[in-house]
Amino acid sequence: MTGIPVKQYALTFIYLWRNLPGMDGFSLIAEPTRRRILDLLRRREADVGTLVDALGLPQPVVSKHLRVLRDAGAVRSSVDGPRRVYRLGPDPLPEVMAWVEPFRRS
């Protein structure tokens, strides 16, 4: 072990990944936590606290993943009083859907 706490490394990795140019839908869903968030939001909109409870992860980790998803257009957020509520964007993973479509027709 290098002495760097795992949580710190994870947050650094999320930040670096987010700032890589050209993140597409495949890169977005390559991270398991983001797939879990998208799956939860596919069922219903949720605030950060609800996602933290469902995922069992610290709030800063969930918030950083949500920022990556929001910046990529996969999720949208709105303010509802003191809460920020997240939901899937209108076309959350266009590259992935375009790639999958030929297989659906086969």
Q: How far is CA 104 from CA 23, 35, 74, 94, in A?
A: 25, 21, 22, 15
d(CA 87, CA 70): 10
CATH number, domain containing residue 61: 1.10.10.10
**Is residue 48 included in any domain, yes or no?**
yes
- Residues 78-103 pLDDT 10s: 999 999 999 999 999 999 999 999 99
18 three-class SS: helix
Kindly list the strands in the beta sheet with 83-88, ordered across the sheet, starting from the edge strand earlier in the chain: 46-47, 83-88, 75-80
Q: How many domains does the chain have?
A: 1
Establish if 1 belongs to a structural domain.
Answer: no
pLDDT of residue 62: 98
Residue pLDDT, tens place only, 16-49: 444 445 578 999 999 999 999 999 999 999 999 9
Q: Does pTM top 0.85 for this prediction?
A: no
